[in-house]
A and B are shown apart, each in its own frame.
Chain A
Amino acid sequence: MTMIKSFGLFWWDFIVGDDWRSAAGVAVAVATTAVLAHNGTNAWMLIPVAVVAVLYLTLRRAVR
């Protein structure tokens, strides 16, 4: 169990890093784009705008 936990923690740290909120923000933006596309709206602008917002928030947290 400890090995599985360590393996999971390694990959979490490797990909997500120390700010899980950035990953959550990105996931929400991608999911919203998919839902909008499914309903016929081409929301290509949503992810770039969300990325800028996420970057702003993560930088603000880092320098606070």
Chain B
Amino acid sequence: MGAFFLVVSSFLASAVEMVEALTIVLAAGLARGWRSSLAGAAGAAIALAVVVVLLGPALTAIPLSVLRVGVGTLLLVFGLQWLRKAILRASGFKALHDEAAIFARELEDAREAGAVARDRIDWYGATLAFKGVFLEGLEVAFIVLTFGSSQGSIPLAAAGALAALVIVAGVGIAVRAPLSRVPENTMKFAVGLMLTSFGIFWSAEGAGASWPGSDLALLGILAFMGATSFVFVTALQRRRTTIGPVGAEAGADT
């Protein structure tokens, strides 16, 4: 059960971050040339691989109880950020992420950034793609490493992330357009719930508490957090009806 949640969490978190990275790589590629954009994306992938290779073994060397209380607390803090934003978006208090709007803005900025060097690497395009892939990828690396090490299987968590990379990159190459139809907030909601639930489970266990039902408690925590979030969304939606809807958000935060 833990392995299933591990792969699903890694897959969903990676997929949403990769959709955002793809939008930036596409904008850089169309405006500044594919060679520069892909070089920047490849550079970011190498930098991320170095982070994973350096931190992965270091994390597995830490005793499991210490790792779980530390990682559990970090995941809980991190997951609460995702969950809060997902609840605010679902209830209309925060605008939904609009990949098409972000793409249009990035494309315009890239086109306005001076002449394009077509015969060699264009540093604006390469840097734009590098930054997009590295920053979005860092969240993926953080989730894969913390989930994987606490569950005792970084390769399994990495498999979920790899599956997301193959699917998002494959669809991106096929359509050459931002993936605006992906139900991003639903996926972010699911990731926020999973991060928070794993965080609660591991931090309590690492702190010395014992869960009734052992690993099965994770399902109970997930159901509890799901129900709590539903109550918050419903309550906020009711409050929101008096104010009116908000527009689409062309930002790049979680």
Interface of A toward B, CB cutoff 8 Å: 14-17, 19, 22-23, 26-27, 30-31, 33-34, 36-38, 42-44, 46-48, 51-52, 54-56, 58-59, 62-63
Contacts and interface: CB of A to CB of B under 8 A. Distances in A.
Given A38-B208, A47-B200, A52-B228, A30 B88 contact: no
Interface of B: 69, 72-74, 76-78, 80-81, 83-84, 87-88, 93-94, 138-139, 142, 196, 200, 203-204, 207-212, 217, 221, 224-225, 228-229, 232, 236, 239
- Interface centre among B84, B142, B236, by most chain A C-beta atoms within 10 angstroms, is B84
A44 B239 contact: no
A62 B80 contact: no
B80 A27 contact: no
A30 B203 CA distance: 7
A30 B72 contact: yes
Contacts of B87: 55, 59
A55 B73 contact: no
Interface of A is mostly: helix
A33 to B, nearest CB: 4
Given A44-B210, A56-B232, A30 B224 contact: no
Contact of B207 (A22, A33, A51, A55): A33
A11 B239 CA distance: 34
Contacts of B94: 62
A51 B78 contact: no
A55 B84 contact: yes
